[in-house]
Structure 1
Amino acid sequence: MLIGLSIAVGTIGWSGNMMTLPVAMFFPLLWAKSPSRVVAATVSAGYFLSASRGLPQGIANFYAADLWPGLLLWVMASLSFTVVHAVLWTGQPGRVRAVRYVVAMVLMALPPFGIIGWAHPLTAAGILFPGWGWFGLGAAGILLVVMTGRRWQIAVAVLLVLYAWSAKDWTQPKLPDRWKGVDLALGQDLGRDGSLSYHRNLIAAVRTKAGEALFVVLPESALGYWTPTVVRLWQDGLRGSGVTVIAGVAVIDAAGYDNVMVAVSAGVARILYRQRMPVPFSMWQPWRAWMGEGGGARAHFFANPMVEVAGMRIAPLICYEQLILWPILQSMLHAPDIIVATGNGWWTSGTSIIAIQHASASAWSQLFGVPIVTAFNHNPKE
């Protein structure tokens, strides 16, 4: 029963609907009620595997392969979550169990375990405590810890009351003034087509969709490779518009590449942000450097958590960073004015990964009361 419930909690909580995120907060209750370490491990694996169920299909799409590589990576990714919760499980109720769950929460929120710390129940804090900021995060943490104790019924009752209250007064995350996010449906051609016509069409689309916006956000990888030719082309194309475009590009050198956001206008073009945590395995491949090989995206751990554009403080999140805790929490320490969340999700066709990214980023926006602008690239067939 506990294993079945953990699978249901992972599936419903991480369905891609922001309002179902609080269901994930029942996980520590199921973990605490496990009668043995083996059951606790299986409950943890069931929750994580169901929450990340889109990964096998996504990996198959990305590599144009069958499901087996994705299934293997899916199981491997679950090991850190499962092992942490299995090792820290205890049948001893009270303070010992509470402290151990706090340790598990912290370990899965921060590197190295937090590198694959998807489906963290604390993400639901923004739904239950909108606008509470760090106090809301602490309150959600306390609620999760109480779930592991003898008074878990109180925690469940409080969770249900808070959910009913937040659902009644729920409002969509705010969009910043004079900002506009532009979603695209170019599939895997996004950023890979370096032709003049591709960039001219994209510039025309930006100018058409900008309206009264002064800042237009494009998805991850939208401009392809950051070269002097691309810079000149975009600066010439934006002349007379007064628009600043924030978009994703790749900056390549002999050792590998950086996945970045740039800001480009008629007068200025600069690298704005270097991704702190690229997607492990498919992008971030640290073993290449250990083996003396080049290639792969660099991870700029804890670098540039806040960047500035026109005097506004921006918390940037590229794709994978929206699924884990430490990048957004590090950015929130700097009191940003805006969250800018981008992604290139052509490979997520047939999954809810983009919806989960949206839900997660929007929940953090609600928790800290910070406006958010998003831009994603989708598969044109969806």
Structure 2
Amino acid sequence: MRPDLLRNVALVALSTSAGWIGWSGNVLLLPVAAAFPVFWSLTRTRLQATAISAAYFLAASRGLPQGVVNFYSSDIWPGLLLWLVASSAFVTVHSVLWMDGQGWQKPGRYLAACIAMAIPPFGILGWAHPITAAGALFPGWGWWGLGAMAAGLIVMTTRYRPAAALAMAGFWLWSAAEWTPPSLPASWIGVDLEMGASLGREVDLNRQQELIDVVRAQPPSTTVVLPESALGFWTPTVARVWQRSLADKGITVIAGAAVIDSQGYDNVLVKLSADGTDILYLERMPVPGSMWQPWRGWAGDQGGARAHFFANPAVDVGNLSVAPLICYEQLLVWPILQSAFHRPDSIVAVGNGWWTAGTAIIDIQRASSEAWARLFDLPLVISFNI
């Protein structure tokens, strides 16, 4: 095998390993993803940069094909196609911004790629961003930790990469030795459910009563968080049933639901208590394709979930300011950074992950949420359905 070909194969293999291990669902393995800029910077042609970018992203998002099979009860081919489409933003950005040569132009271009993949429009598909590892390397550092992580990633594309790798490895070992998971806010409880695909689809009063029984089993005067889509369609009848059921417990419930109108629907979190009910949060970034379908509007059609890109980054629940993240938002960078800018007191991460069976997607969402919570030293409430 020719030396150049052997080198290229090695870079692709290493990039694949960085994506696979870094995004395995263990928060303390997230820093492995920080090796990606090293491999990107070592490529000698744009084609090589394209190959190692694809290898990294496809390995990091490897659960997507199986998730599509589960969600649509289809064969593997639609999932494989969507997997490739989902990688297009990451691969295109890192391919177009790649350049050969020495100096600081290449680090500058990598910084541009990092920013592009962190914010819309490319950030809409900005999964597996290496900067997510900031919380695993610099817990409690907040914006300074984010800056340190960005600086480390940039230096990894220069000839000073050995020093950067050594420094980041030191912070990694220190963080792992002292690691503690995020705490819960006082008097808050996140409830995980195992209701499969029926959650959000079975919306009769029997299902509402089943969920009410789960909530009423919690201690009085607590705030209970239920998963995405838990309540199904949000209607005045559902609101009245829940309000009456909570009258004697002093419990506040935060739960997922869908608000439907003639133009489409909103994926939301609602707040319920004996004092009343209210829509608390409108999802900023629903899942592209299966939920958010802007092309339908361009064609004059209606339907699909609305994206409220920069709305309600933090919401008030009692005396706490909360940063909500619904499912897909936990995989992206800009929703949590937008929320962190508003200095919330806690993060609430919910999801309905029944369709992720056989994959590490929920573990990755949990790890990502935990990393961001530790970076900004915020309590974290998680509630998932499987």
Q: Give me the TM-score of the superposition, normalised by structure 1.
A: 0.98
Q: How far apart are 1:284 and its partner, in Å?
A: 0.2
The equivalent of 1:166 in structure 2 is: 175
Q: How far apart are 1:198 and its partner, in Å?
A: 1.0
Quote the Cα distance in structure 2 between the aligned partners of 1:366 and 1:253: 38
Amino acid at match of 2:128: A
Q: How far apart are 1:133 and its partner, in Å?
A: 0.3
Question: Is 1:26–2:38 an aligned residue pair?
Answer: no
The equivalent of 1:318 in structure 2 is: 326
Quote the Cα distance in structure 2 between the aligned partners of 1:365 and 1:94: 36
Question: Is 1:299–2:281 an aligned residue pair?
Answer: no
Question: Is 1:3–2:12 an aligned residue pair?
Answer: yes
The equivalent of 1:93 in structure 2 is: 102
Q: How far apart are 1:94 and its partner, in Å?
A: 2.0
Q: How far apart are 1:212 and its partner, in Å?
A: 4.9
Instruction: Tell me if structure 1 keeps the 8 A contact 2:270–2:278.
Output: yes
Quote the Cα distance in structure 1 between the aligned partners of 2:125 and 2:68: 15
2:24 to 6, 15, 22: 15
Quote the Cα distance in structure 2 between the aligned partners of 1:280 and 1:328: 18
The RMSD of aligned alpha carbons is 0.7
Paired residue secondary structure (2:117): helix
Instruction: Tell me if structure 1 keeps the 8 A contact 2:349–2:380.
Output: yes
Instruction: Tell me if structure 2 keeps the 8 A contact 1:217–1:247.
Output: yes
2:374 to 357, 366, 375: 366
The alignment covers a number of residue pairs equal to: 377
Alignment of 1:97-108 (within 5 A): 97-108=106-117
Paired residue secondary structure (1:174): coil
Task: Give runs of ≥4 in structure 1 deviating > 6 Å.
Answer: none
Quote the Cα distance in structure 1 between the aligned partners of 2:33 and 2:253: 36
2:281 to 273, 276, 280: 273
Question: Is 1:203–2:212 an aligned residue pair?
Answer: yes
Paired residue secondary structure (1:375): strand
Amino acid at match of 2:49: A
Alignment of 1:106-145 (within 5 A): 106-145=115-154
Instruction: Tell me if structure 2 keeps the 8 A contact 1:220–1:249.
Output: yes
Quote the Cα distance in structure 1 between the aligned partners of 2:52 and 2:341: 33
Q: How far apart are 1:213 and its partner, in Å?
A: 5.4
Paired residue secondary structure (1:166): helix
The equivalent of 2:4 in structure 1 is: none
Paired residue secondary structure (2:85): helix
Q: 1:22-50 CA distances to partner (integer Å, 9 max, x unpaired)? A: 00000000000012111111000000000
Instruction: Tell me if structure 1 keeps the 8 A contact 2:256–2:268.
Output: yes
1:331 to 328, 339, 344: 339
Instruction: Tell me if structure 2 keeps the 8 A contact 1:257–1:297.
Output: yes
Quote the Cα distance in structure 2 between the aligned partners of 1:10 and 1:350: 18
Amino acid at match of 1:369: D
The equivalent of 2:45 in structure 1 is: 36
Question: Is 1:156–2:156 an aligned residue pair?
Answer: no
Q: How far apart are 1:99 and its partner, in Å?
A: 0.6
Quote the Cα distance in structure 1 between the aligned partners of 2:196 and 2:20: 26
1:220 to 228, 240, 243: 228
Paired residue secondary structure (2:153): helix
Quote the Cα distance in structure 1 between the aligned partners of 2:36 and 2:255: 37
Q: 1:143-179 CA distances to partner (integer Å, 9 max, x unpaired)? A: 0000000111001101111111001111111111100
Quote the Cα distance in structure 2 between the aligned partners of 1:307 and 1:138: 26
Quote the Cα distance in structure 2 between the aligned partners of 1:63 and 1:238: 36
Instruction: Tell me if structure 2 keeps the 8 A contact 1:274–1:300.
Output: yes
Quote the Cα distance in structure 2 between the aligned partners of 1:23 and 1:328: 21
2:261 to 253, 261, 264: 253
Paired residue secondary structure (1:110): coil
Amino acid at match of 2:341: L
Q: How far apart are 1:195 and its partner, in Å?
A: 1.6
The equivalent of 2:7 in structure 1 is: none
Unaligned residue ranges in structure 1 (runs of 5+)? none
Question: Is 1:187–2:196 an aligned residue pair?
Answer: yes
Unaligned residue ranges in structure 2 (runs of 5+)? 1-9
Instruction: Tell me if structure 2 keeps the 8 A contact 1:260–1:274.
Output: yes
Quote the Cα distance in structure 1 between the aligned partners of 2:49 and 2:30: 22
Paired residue secondary structure (2:321): strand
Instruction: Tell me if structure 2 keeps the 8 A contact 1:179–1:213.
Output: no
Q: Give me the TM-score of the superposition, normalised by structure 2.
A: 0.97
Quote the Cα distance in structure 2 between the aligned partners of 1:150 and 1:193: 58
